A and B are shown apart, each in its own frame.
Chain A
């Protein structure tokens, strides 16, 4: 942190981690709102429309937070990472500009219509507006995932005179890295939205207020949460892990805590990596299971960190290892919790099982933690590279912006975001308190 590079990195990490707390809810919630509006159209029951209106109000607050914390992200490529921007602007500038042109215009136009135009558009038109809003948010996620995919697994460019030039838009947008990473990310977003919805529903049921809506929210939240948790683990999570093993074997070794190359590598459930002595302390392992998961053979070889030169290792191996294990561990908890809740729902006992409702209520923060840990896994695993195997992180920063200037703006962001958080919590709690019945 006392170096300019450290300050640049910490500011970007801080602002993007904070930013992603909001889009991860809006993208998933957009899908759930479409489902609510669709059910409302089909059944003609007013309850679904009230629910959709309620969640649109929560959506709007989150969306506004996402916009105001998202604008600094685009600016920081130029302000803090100017060398990277000059090298790679011809490539990743494209996907970032496409996000602006194709999804931001769509989202901003149709959010206005979803919030203010229900009477004017009629039920079918309003449903169409929510579908377009959903499309805009998911497109936005696609362009950002495509930008990240190029940094993880660069394709479709050529190096010319020290700069990257784009030669194939198809390769950039159709990067095989995206095939699993994009749906995995979107499912993470649906998990957050499902858990938030079931948490609010559980709150209504436990507090004995707005109970009819509470049951609807729990039912939809649990169903979406279970489906998304299952799909996030298999096939998307599993396949993405194998993508990492194939294209970034050194990051994979660090994630899994494999120091020595072995045949029949064990899968570590819990353990503490010790980089000094190159071993895992106090491990609990499933024998040979890592080899099986990665190569579908029990005796396959998994290369450990020792197989790679040290200057290609991710710098913070313990943090990378823990982030990955937190994500996977929480994902397993999500499947168990929503699976149990779904079982109770099917047996028609969920709404009277107060203990389960308490669990649903307090699961709220955990998908946020899992999503954050997942992105930290991807980004720490990319280190020491900014563009994998092509550009190192320290070569990308703005050389003439001093550490003091960055610390000043970093503290400014921290203060501003602390105030934003307080405001956000107050506003959302008030909406939840008011309940879905009020127009």
Chain B
């Protein structure tokens, strides 16, 4: 039961990354590839009706972790207190940028919202990568089973680690490149003309950057996290997940070149999905490993709620999520196709 929930939560987080990932990525590139007011309005409209629903996956995943792994929720959220609060403020900034951009009549204020939207999207992508890096490396649990990490130390790889240090910043850069690729392919798929061309060029650069950074990150993680080698050595079928990621990246690059935007976008989705599931696979059975004494790490069993709560939650979670997927599909179909160049309504 605990293992089943581990995979359900991992999948729902992966779904969050794939869905909100494209609108965060689009936000990062907003200032770079959309050159004038009309193009920026088009870019925002390509995510306008859907970004909010995509972000709900974060809330739903967070709530699910609260219900099924309460100890993980409590330990990780209080241990990462400051960075999480900053993620919250960035989420606020991004939402304001999207929702209030078209409310301002003066172009000067529109450009202020553009910058807020774009910078908070980029910082968010970076922070998500940093967060995943911290989880993958493990955290310094004390004897009471809690931890509290400083935001940064002196950035020397040899010394004590902080939330931000060379390894986690590399993870952040990888996430930023990956989401930039994903967002660029979304824009290419949803728009036409110059904007689409620039999006495809951005996707090319971001794709190669993602490839290089992913390789580097994987090597470094192998050194830092012995658990990773153990898991892949014991279960060689686990190599399937990194293969999906690499294959997805290849598909993204290959079909982008040929102008098949949707297939390329599916490729980058598979890349993100593969990366997330690979991380989950290599961490299992830990949900939050310890960076010092492995015995102090939180596992699926020690972090989970009791069996009765888990069983009850499964009873409503599965139909609820099926319903949610239904809405997502319905709304993406309603707003399918290229964004119409002008006007508020579809």
Contacts and interface: CB of A to CB of B under 8 A. Distances in A.
A72 interface: yes
A109 B308 contact: no
A263 B328 CA distance: 60
B57 to A, nearest CB: 9
A348 interface: no
Contacts of B100: 64, 423, 427
Interface in A24-44: none
A68 B345 contact: no
A356 interface: no
A167 B308 CA distance: 6
Contact of B78 (A87, A99, A104, A398): A398
Most buried by A among B53, B63, B95, B331: B63
A288 interface: no
B288 interface: no
Contacts of B48: 112, 116
B148 A169 contact: no
Nearest to A57: B103
Contacts of A100: 56, 59-60, 62-64
A85 B70 contact: yes
Contact of B70 (A93, A110, A116, A169): A93
Interface residues of B, number: 64
B346 A93 contact: no
A109 B328 contact: yes
Contacts of A420: 92, 96
Given A79-B78, A79-B81, A104-B60, A89 B99 contact: no
A97 B148 CA distance: 26
A423 B92 CA distance: 13
A89 B313 CA distance: 12
A101 B63 contact: yes
Interface string B70-110: 11011111110110110011011001100110010000000
A307 to B, nearest CB: 36
B315 interface: yes
Given A101-B321, A165-B305, A166-B308, A112 B346 contact: no
A154 to B, nearest CB: 14
A91 B309 contact: yes
B208 interface: no
B123 interface: no
B49 interface: yes
B99 A116 contact: no
Contacts of A106: 327
A71 B88 contact: yes
Interface string A393-421: 00000111100010011001000100010
Interface stretch (A117-125, A192-200, A222-230, A237-245): A117-125
B68 interface: yes
Contacts of A117: 49, 334-335, 345-346
A345 B100 CA distance: 37
Interface size for chain A: under 10, 10 to 19, 20 to 34, or 35 or more residues?
Answer: 35 or more
**B interface, over-half SS:** helix
B346 A120 contact: yes
A433 to B, nearest CB: 12
A77 B53 contact: no
B52 A78 contact: no
A90 interface: yes
A9 interface: no
A400 B335 contact: no
A91 to B, nearest CB: 7
B327 A96 contact: no
Nearest to A405: B81
Contact of A412 (B59, B78, B89, B315): B89
B28 to A, nearest CB: 19
Given A74-B63, A112-B52, A85 B315 contact: no
A310 interface: no
B342 to A, nearest CB: 14
B102 to A, nearest CB: 11
Contacts of A96: 63, 66-67
Given A68-B91, A106-B327, A113-B334, A423 B67 contact: no
A382 B52 CA distance: 34
Contacts of B306: 90, 160, 163, 165
B218 to A, nearest CB: 29
A369 to B, nearest CB: 25
Contacts of A90: 67, 70, 305-306, 309
B152 interface: no
Given A67-B52, A82-B77, A105-B60, A98 B316 contact: yes
Given A71-B91, A82-B74, A98 B66 contact: no
Interface in A92-149: 92-94, 96-102, 104-106, 108-113, 115-120
A108 to B, nearest CB: 4
Given A78-B73, A82-B74, A94 B67 contact: yes
Interface of A: 60-61, 64, 67-69, 71-72, 74-75, 77-80, 82-83, 85-94, 96-102, 104-106, 108-113, 115-120, 158, 160, 163, 165-167, 169, 398-401, 405, 408-409, 412, 416, 420, 423, 427, 430, 439
Q: What 10 A-B pairs come out closest when comparing CB atoms?
A: A89-B70, A78-B77, A93-B67, A97-B63, A90-B305, A112-B49, A93-B66, A82-B74, A90-B309, A100-B60
25 contacts: A68-B91, A71-B91, A74-B66, A79-B77, A79-B78, A86-B71, A86-B73, A87-B70, A89-B66, A90-B309, A94-B312, A94-B313, A96-B67, A97-B63, A97-B64, A105-B60, A108-B56, A109-B330, A110-B327, A111-B52, A116-B345, A118-B345, A169-B315, A399-B146, A401-B78
Interface of B: 48-50, 52-53, 55-56, 59-60, 62-71, 73-79, 81-82, 84-85, 88-89, 91-92, 95-96, 99-100, 103, 146-148, 305-306, 308-309, 312-313, 315-317, 320-321, 323-324, 327-328, 330-331, 334-335, 344-346
Given A117-B334, A398-B74, 11 more contacts: A86-B71, A88-B70, A93-B63, A93-B66, A100-B60, A104-B59, A105-B328, A116-B335, A169-B312, A169-B315, A427-B103
